[in-house]
Structure 1
Amino acid sequence: MIKNYSVFFLVLFLCWNVSSAQTPHSSGHDSMEEILMEIESHISKYRYELAIEDSRNLLDKAKDESDDYYTAQAYNNLGHVYLDQNDSARARKNYTLGLEYAQKVNNDTLLMSSYNNLGNIYSEIPETTNKGIDYYNKVISLANKMGDSTELIIPKINIGWTHLDNGRYNKAYPYLKESLDILDSLGSPNAARSIYIYTQLYMLHGRYYAHNKQYDTASYFFDKSIELAIKDTLVIQAAESYSAYAEMLSQKGDYEAAYNAQVKYNEYNSQVFEAEKLKQMEIANARFKNKEYREYLDIAEREQKYQDDIIEKSKEKVAIMVVSSVVLVAILVFLYKINRDRRNLISELKNKNKQYKEAKVEAENLSLLKTRFFSTVSHEIRTPLYGVIGLTSLLLEEKSLGKHKSDLKSLKFSADYLLALINDVLQMNKMESNEVKLESVSFNLRDQVNSILNSFEFTRVQNKNQLHLDFDENIPAYLMGDSIRLSQILMNLVGNAMKFTERGNIYFTVKQLEGDHDTSKIYFEVRDDGPGIPESKKKVIFEEFSQLDNSNYNYQGTGLGLPIVKRLLKLFDSKIKLASKEGEGSTFSFSILFDIDTAKTENIEVIEDSVITNYSDQKSILIVDDNRINQVVTRRILEKKDFICEVAGDGVTAIEHVKNGNFDLVLMDVNMPGISGLEASKRIREFNKEIPILALTAVEVEEIREEIHSAGMTGIIIKPYDVQKFYQIIYKNLSIQRTPEEV
C-alpha cells in the first residue's frame, strides 16, 4: 500500500510537469487549462464525482475543438480517478485512450506521462512487471531524446523500485544510483519535489545495501531518508523508512535499535492508517455517489445535446455584437495592463542592472584585495622560512652536530611542511581567480620523480613505510610540459599516501601507455595499503577543507591537497580516478599526454652534468639582499663551494659594487626598500650587458615573471629553495647564458 501511495505522488509530480509544459494560449485553450487544474484539485481532495464531471466536460470541449492534447489529458485524469477507486480495468482503458491521443499530438512530455501511467498499472501486477518496465523505458528514451536529465529520475526510480520489490537487487541498483546522481547534479535539495524524491531514493538505497549486508552504508541512507521525511512532514515516507530500517537492524542482530525503529514505525504508521481510513471512507462515499451520478450524467448529456442544438439554430446578431463588445473591452483592458506592467518591469530592470554593476565592481575590488593580501602573506612568511630552511640545511652538513642531526631533520621537515601549507592556500586562491596557466618547458621526468620521493624520506622513515617505485624505461628522457604543476599533483598524492599509511607499503607506478616520435601518454598511479576510504566519503574528499579521520594526528593538513589535484588535472585535460575499499587501501591514478623534447640528446645532458660537477675555478659573486639573516644564509651556502662573496644591503650599493668591482654573477633580491632589485638590474644593464643577474624572490613567480625579464635579469630563484638545485643554477649561469631557471 505504501509503495502504491508513493508511486501515485511521483505520478502527480510528472503530471504537474505535463500541465505546465507547452500548451496553446488561445481563449478556448485557457478555459480548458482551468478545467484541467480543477480536475487535479478534485482528485487530490477525493472529490471523484466532481473530477469525473469535469473530466467529461473537458473531454467534450476538447473533442469539439479537435484538440488531441486536452483529450489525452482528460483520459489520463479519468484513469487516475478509477485507479484511486481500485478499478484497474477502467483505469487501464482510459490510460490507453490517453496514450493514443498523446501519440497524435506528438508531444514528448505528454507521451512520457502516458507511458509512466501505464507502467504504474502493469508493474504492480507480478505477471506483467516486464511490460510495466518496458513502458518506463519508453519514458527514458523520450527524456534522452529531449536532452532533459530531470525527466529521467522518475522512470528510473520506478524501474529500480519494481526490481527491488521483485527481489532483483543487482538489477535495481544501477537505476537507483543513476537517479541519485542526476538529482545531486540539479543543485536544488531544498525544493519540495527534490526533498520528496531524495527521501524515497535514500530509502531504496538503504534497502539495497541492507540486502547486501553492507549495514553501515545502509544505515547512512536510512538516516538521511528519515531525517528528510521528518523535516518535511512526510508521514508515509517516514513510516516506510523506519519499517525497512527496523528490518535491517533486526537482520544485523541489533535488536534493541530494531525495536526502537519499530516503535517509530508504529507511531508514523498509525498516522498513515488514519489518513488511509479517511481516504477509503471518501472513496466509498464517492463510489456510491458515482453510481447515481452516472445515471444522472446520461440524462444530463442528452438534455445538454438537445439544448446545444436549439442554441446552435437560434444565434442572433445582437448576442454576437454584445459578446464582441465585451471581448473588445476585455482586450483593451488586457493591453493596458500589459503596457503598464511592461513599464514597471523596465524600470525595475534598470535598477537591478545598476545594483548588479555596483556589486560587480565591489566584488572585483574585494577579489583584488584578497589577491594582494595573499601575495603579501606569501612574501612575508617565505622570507623568514628561507632563513630557517637554509640554516637548517647548513647545520645538517656540520659533522660536529651529529648528535643533533635527528632534531635538525625534524626542524627542517616542520619548516618544509609549513611551506607546503602556505603553497596550498596560495595555489587554491590563484586557481579560484583563474590565474593559473600551464607552461611548456623541457624536464626530465625520472629526475623529477626521484626528487619528489626523496623529499618524503623523513615522513617515510617516521611512519615506518616501504616505498616501491616502478618506472617504465620506455618513457622518453625529456618531455615538454609544466613540470611545476605536475610536481604539485604528485607531491599531494604521495604525501597523502605517506601520511595516512603507517607500517605499510606505498607503490608509485609511472608507465607509458602509448607514444610516438612526438608525443607520449604517461600513466601515474599512487597506491597504498592504508586504511582506505569509505564509500560515503569518496566525493567529499575532493571538496575544499574536507578531511578524513586520521589516527596519525601529526599530519592533519589543510584539506586542500586533493581539491588542488583535481583542479590542476583539469588544466591538463585529465581526471583523477579513485579506487578504494575501507580497510584495504586506496589507489589514485591519472594519465597526461606530453610532447617529447626531441631537441635534447644524451650528449647535451652529459656535457651539462660535467659542467656542474667539474666546475672548480674560484668565482666572485655579489649577494644583494636587505635582510641580514638571508645575507648570512646565502653567503654561507656559497662559501661552502669556495665562492668569493660580497654583500650589498640595498640597490644603490649593488650598482656601485658592480660598476667598480669584478664579479662573475649577481644574486639580486627583488623586493628591497629604496631602489628595488628590478630597478637596480635595469641600471646595471646600462653599463654591463654580460654579467648574469639571478632574481631572488619570495613572491609568486607568475606575478612578476614579465617584470623580471624586462629588467634584464638572467633567471629566477624562488625562496626558500633546495640547496642542490640552487648550486646547479649558479653553476649553469656561471658557465653559459641560459633561459630562466626556477627553484
Structure 2
Amino acid sequence: MTKSYTAFFLLFILCWSGSSAQTPHSSDKDSLKDILKEISVHIEKYRYDQAIEDSHDLLNLAKEKNNLYYVSHAYNSLGHAYLDQKDSARARKNYALGLEYAQRVGNDTILMRSYNNLGNIYSEIPETTEKGIDYYNKVIDLAKKLNDPSELIIPKANIGWTYLDNNKYQEAYPYLKESLQLMDSIATLGDKNRSYFYSQIYMLHGRYFGHEKQFDTASYFFDKSIELAVADSLVLPAAEAYKAYAKMLEEEGDFEAAYMAQLKFNEYNSMVFESEKLRQMEIANARFSISEYKKNLEIAEREQNYQDEIIEKSQEKVIIMVISSVILVFILVFLYKINHDRRGLISELKNKNKQYKEAKVEAENLSLLKTRFFSTVSHEIRTPLYGVIGLTSLLLEEKSLGKHKSDLKSLKFSADYLLALINDVLQMNKMESNEVNLESVSFNPRDLLNSILNSFEFTRVQNKNELHLDFDENIPSFLLGDSIRLSQVLMNLVGNAMKFTERGNIYFQVKQIDGDKDHSKIYFEIRDDGPGIPESKKKVIFEEFSQLDNSNYNYQGTGLGLPIVKRLLKLFNSKIKLDSKEGEGSTFSFSILFDVDTAKAETIKIEEDSYLHEYSGKKCILIVDDNRINQVVTRRILEKKDFICEVAGDGMQAIELVKNGNFDLVLMDVNMPGISGLEASKKIREFNKIIPVLALTAVEVEEIREEIHDAGMSGIIIKPYDVQQFYQIVYKHLSIQRIVEEV
C-alpha cells in the first residue's frame, strides 16, 4: 500500500477518539456515530463497497439532520475509500468537500483530518508535492495551537515520508527523527495504535539509513518495524516494511536475504487481496441467499434444490482453493529457480567482467606494442631509404649518366612511392591512437600547391596526363593552419587522380568562397576524366584497405589514402564530397576555414642562389651519423654546394670535434649507439650556445619534437628529405647564426 492509505488510517484512529470527545451526545448523533464506526471497520477490513454505501447513508442522514460535523466525516470516508481503490480524482473531490464542511463547523480535530487527507492526495503527485506538504504544515499549526503533541506525529511522519519518496533524504530525516521522539514521549495511545505508529516510523527510518549505506542501522529499524507488525497482525505495515527491507538488502548485495524478504512481502500483500476475494464471495453468496430466500417464501419445494446448489458451490470453492494452492506452490518453485539461475548469471557476469578487464589491459598493451613497432619499423626503413633517395637524386644530376636517367627516375619514383606507403601506414596508426593534432603555422598556399604538383611530375609524364591548376588570386598570400596535414590530403587526392587516369586531364581548382581580413574559407576541388567510381563503391572506398579494380597495376596502393583524407578533414571540421559517374570521371571537393596571417606584412624567402656566393667554400659543417651510406649521401649533397664537411661516426667523437674545431653548423643524427644525438647536443650546449645543431632523424617529428627542443637543438630535418628543402633549412640556420655573431 502507498503512504496515502497508511497515513490516513493512522489519522483516522486518532481523529475518531478526538471527535467522540467533542461531539455532543444525543440519540440522533449516537446513530451517526455508530454508522461512522461501521465505516471505519469496513475500511480496516478492506470492504470498500460497503464502506462507500455506508458513507452515502451517513452523508444523507447527516444532511437531513443538518449535522455538518458528520457531513464532513462522510465526505472524508468516501475520499478514503476511493483513494484506496486508486480513484484519485473522486478521492480529491470528496476530500475537498470534507474540508469545506470542516471549515464551516470550525472543529479543529476534523480540520486536521481534512488537511492531512488533502496532503496525502497532493504529496503523491510530483507536480503538487509542495502543495501536499503545505497541507501537512497546516495540520502541524493546528496541533501546536491545541498544544497536543500526539497530533504532531502523523503530519511530521507524512512530511518525512514525502521527502523520502522524492529522494530528498537529508530533508526527510529531521521530520522522521522528531516523529519518533514524539512517539517515545506520548503514553496516551492504545497498545495497537502505538505498534502501528512505531512500525511505520521504524520502517521510514530503515529506508533513510538504507539510502545512507548504513545497512546495520537500517536493518535494526526494519527488524523492529517487522517485529511489531507481525506481533499485532498488522498486515499493511508488515507488507510495507518487508518491501522496503527487500530493496535495501538488494542494494547491500545480500540477494538471498532480499529474496526471502520479497517472499514475505508477497505473503502479506496477498493477504489483502485474499481478504478482498473472500469479501466478494461473501457479498455474492449473501445476495444469492437473499434472492433464494424470497423465492422459497413463494415456492417451499425449491428449498432442497437450493441446499444442493449451496453444497455444489462449496465443492467448487474447495476445488478452486486446491488448484490455487497447487498454482502457488508452482509459482514458489518457479521463483526459487529464477533466483537460483539469477545468482548463477551474476557469478558468470562477474567472471566475464574480469575477463573483459584482462582483455582490455592486454589490448592496451598490444596497442602500445603496435605503436612502438611502427615507430621502430619506420626508423629502420626510412634510414636505408634516405640512402637510396639521396644517392639517386645525386646520380640524376650527373651528366655522364644521361643514358641511365630514365632508369634512375624510375628508381627514385619507386623509393618515393615506398616512402609514401610507409607514411600512410604510420599516419593511419597515429590517427587510430588519437595522436594527431593540428598545428597552426604560417604558410604560402600558392607555394604549397606548386610544390605538391611538382612532386607528381614524373607520374604525370608517365601516364601522359595534363594537369590544370586554377588558383584564385583573391586568396591571401599567407594563411595560418596545418600545412603538413593539408599537403597529405591534397597529395592523396591528386595522387589518386594521377594514377587512375591515363592520357587524360586533371583539374585542380582552389578558390576563396568566403572571407574577410581575418578569415578565409578556401574551396578545393580535384577533378579528373578517368574511369569514374561505380555507385556501389562510393562508400566502400573510404574504408581502410579498400581498392577499386584498376587496369594500371603499377599503382594498386594500400587503400589507405582516402580513409586518411576523411579522418584528416574531420580534424579540419570539414568533410570530403564525392561526385562521380562510372566512365565519366570523378570529382573530390572540400572546404576549410583558415585564419589569415595578417601580421606577416612581407616574407623574406631564403633563396638558394643568394647563399651560393656568400657561403661557397667558406662554411664548415660537421656530419654526425653512424650509418656510412648516409654519411656519404649527406656529404656529397653538401659538397655539391661547396661546403666543407667533416664526418663523426658517434656522439663522443662529435663532442670532441666541436670542442676542438671551428664548425659553422652540425647535422646530428638522433639515434646512434653509445651516446645518442640528444645527449651529445646537450653536452655541446654546455660549452657552445651559438652553433646551430640540426637534428637529422628518420623518427616521426611528433614523437621527439619536445625532446629535441629540450636538448638545445636548433631545428629538425626528417630523413629522407627533399634536397632543395634540405638546402633551405641549412642556409636559414647559417643565416641566423651570422646575425647572432654580428650582434
What's the TM-score, normalizing by structure 1?
0.55
Is 2:606–2:732's contact at 8 Å kept on the other side of the alignment? no
1:342 deviates by 3.5
Q: 2:398 and 2:490 mapped to 1: Cα distance?
A: 32
**Paired amino acid for 1:345:** L
1:414 deviates by 1.3
Is 2:606–2:728's contact at 8 Å kept on the other side of the alignment? no
Residues 662 and 515 of structure 1, relative CA distance in 2, 3 Å threshold: same
Say yes or no: does 1:464 pair with 2:464. yes
Q: 2:461 and 2:429 mapped to 1: Cα distance?
A: 33
Q: 1:516 and 1:605 mapped to 2: Cα distance?
A: 25
Paired residue secondary structure (2:694): strand
Give 1:605's aligned residue. Answer: 604
Give 1:536's aligned residue. Answer: 536
1:637 deviates by 0.8
Give 1:422's aligned residue. Answer: 422
Q: 1:387 and 1:724 mapped to 2: Cα distance?
A: 16
Equivalent positions of 1:646-685 (< 5 A) are: 646-685=646-685
Q: 2:451 and 2:561 mapped to 1: Cα distance?
A: 19
Structure 1: unaligned runs, 5 residues or longer: 1-64, 67-308, 739-743
**Paired amino acid for 2:555:** Y
Say yes or no: does 1:413 pair with 2:402. no
Q: 1:520 and 1:313 mapped to 2: Cα distance?
A: 92
Is 1:612–1:728's contact at 8 Å kept on the other side of the alignment? no
Is 1:500–1:530's contact at 8 Å kept on the other side of the alignment? yes
Q: 2:502 and 2:401 mapped to 1: Cα distance?
A: 30
Give 2:695's aligned residue. Answer: 695
Moved more, 673-682 or 604-613: 604-613
1:433 deviates by 2.1
Is 1:574–1:591's contact at 8 Å kept on the other side of the alignment? yes
- Percentage of identical aligned residues: 87
Residues 607 and 586 of structure 1, relative CA distance in 2, 3 Å threshold: closer
Say yes or no: does 1:629 pair with 2:635. no
Give 1:446's aligned residue. Answer: 446
Is 1:505–1:529's contact at 8 Å kept on the other side of the alignment? yes
Residues 378 and 312 of structure 1, relative CA distance in 2, 3 Å threshold: farther
Say yes or no: does 1:730 pair with 2:723. no
**Paired amino acid for 2:716:** I
Deviations 1:21-60 (A, max 9, x none): xxxxxxxxxxxxxxxxxxxxxxxxxxxxxxxxxxxxxxxx
Q: 2:609 and 2:460 mapped to 1: Cα distance?
A: 32
Give 1:170's aligned residue. Answer: none
Q: 1:699 and 1:619 mapped to 2: Cα distance?
A: 28
Give 2:126's aligned residue. Answer: none
Counting matched residue pairs gives 432
Deviations 1:339-384 (A, max 9, x none): 4333223211211111011111111122122222211111111111
Say yes or no: does 1:381 pair with 2:349. no
Give 2:565's aligned residue. Answer: 565
Q: 1:320 and 1:534 mapped to 2: Cα distance?
A: 72
**Paired amino acid for 1:605:** I
1:616 deviates by 3.3
1:326 deviates by 6.3
Give 1:475's aligned residue. Answer: 475
Is 1:611–1:731's contact at 8 Å kept on the other side of the alignment? no
Moved more, 611-620 or 665-674: 611-620
Residues 732 and 324 of structure 1, relative CA distance in 2, 3 Å threshold: same
Q: 2:411 and 2:475 mapped to 1: Cα distance?
A: 37
Paired residue secondary structure (2:491): helix
**Paired amino acid for 2:431:** M
Residues 606 and 357 of structure 1, relative CA distance in 2, 3 Å threshold: closer
Moved more, 336-345 or 720-729: 336-345
Deviations 1:134-170 (A, max 9, x none): xxxxxxxxxxxxxxxxxxxxxxxxxxxxxxxxxxxxx
Q: 2:286 and 2:476 mapped to 1: Cα distance?
A: 92
1:601 deviates by 1.8
Q: 1:408 and 1:458 mapped to 2: Cα distance?
A: 12
1:563 deviates by 1.4
Is 1:611–1:735's contact at 8 Å kept on the other side of the alignment? no
1:568 deviates by 1.3
Give 1:18's aligned residue. Answer: none
**Paired amino acid for 1:441:** V
**Paired amino acid for 1:681:** S
**Paired amino acid for 1:662:** N
Residues 527 and 312 of structure 1, relative CA distance in 2, 3 Å threshold: farther
Q: 1:313 and 1:411 mapped to 2: Cα distance?
A: 109
Give 1:396's aligned residue. Answer: 396
1:406 deviates by 2.0
Is 2:626–2:650's contact at 8 Å kept on the other side of the alignment? yes
Q: 2:737 and 2:563 mapped to 1: Cα distance?
A: 39
Say yes or no: does 1:588 pair with 2:588. yes
Give 1:200's aligned residue. Answer: none
Is 2:550–2:556's contact at 8 Å kept on the other side of the alignment? yes
Deviations 1:557-605 (A, max 9, x none): 1121111111111121111111111111110111111112222122x33
Which has the greater radius of gyration?
2
Equivalent positions of 1:86-125 (< 5 A) are: none
Give 1:169's aligned residue. Answer: none
Q: 1:536 and 1:607 mapped to 2: Cα distance?
A: 50
Q: 1:367 and 1:468 mapped to 2: Cα distance?
A: 43
Deviations 1:108-143 (A, max 9, x none): xxxxxxxxxxxxxxxxxxxxxxxxxxxxxxxxxxxx
1:331 deviates by 6.0
Deviations 1:266-317 (A, max 9, x none): xxxxxxxxxxxxxxxxxxxxxxxxxxxxxxxxxxxxxxxxxxx999969989
Structure 2: unaligned runs, 5 residues or longer: 1-84, 87-283, 290-312, 739-743
1:405 deviates by 2.0
Give 1:352's aligned residue. Answer: 352
Equivalent positions of 1:153-168 (< 5 A) are: none
Give 1:511's aligned residue. Answer: 511
Is 1:714–1:737's contact at 8 Å kept on the other side of the alignment? no
Residues 615 and 319 of structure 1, relative CA distance in 2, 3 Å threshold: farther
Is 2:612–2:641's contact at 8 Å kept on the other side of the alignment? no
Is 2:608–2:727's contact at 8 Å kept on the other side of the alignment? no
Give 1:246's aligned residue. Answer: none
**Paired amino acid for 1:370:** K
Q: 1:710 and 1:322 mapped to 2: Cα distance?
A: 88
Give 1:46's aligned residue. Answer: none
1:325 deviates by 5.9
Give 1:704's aligned residue. Answer: 704
Residues 311 and 606 of structure 1, relative CA distance in 2, 3 Å threshold: farther
1:434 deviates by 2.1
Residues 333 and 515 of structure 1, relative CA distance in 2, 3 Å threshold: same
Is 1:378–1:698's contact at 8 Å kept on the other side of the alignment? yes
Deviations 1:494-529 (A, max 9, x none): 111111111111000011111122221111100011
Is 2:529–2:584's contact at 8 Å kept on the other side of the alignment? yes
Equivalent positions of 1:186-585 (< 5 A) are: 332-333=332-333, 335-585=335-585
Is 1:664–1:734's contact at 8 Å kept on the other side of the alignment? yes
Is 1:566–1:576's contact at 8 Å kept on the other side of the alignment? yes
Q: 1:311 and 1:447 mapped to 2: Cα distance?
A: 104
Q: 1:348 and 1:611 mapped to 2: Cα distance?
A: 76
Q: 1:552 and 1:533 mapped to 2: Cα distance?
A: 15
Deviations 1:167-194 (A, max 9, x none): xxxxxxxxxxxxxxxxxxxxxxxxxxxx
Deviations 1:192-228 (A, max 9, x none): xxxxxxxxxxxxxxxxxxxxxxxxxxxxxxxxxxxxx
Paired residue secondary structure (1:502): coil
1:334 deviates by 5.3
Is 1:523–1:589's contact at 8 Å kept on the other side of the alignment? yes
Residues 319 and 412 of structure 1, relative CA distance in 2, 3 Å threshold: same
Q: 1:569 and 1:311 mapped to 2: Cα distance?
A: 83
Residues 601 and 567 of structure 1, relative CA distance in 2, 3 Å threshold: same
1:404 deviates by 2.3
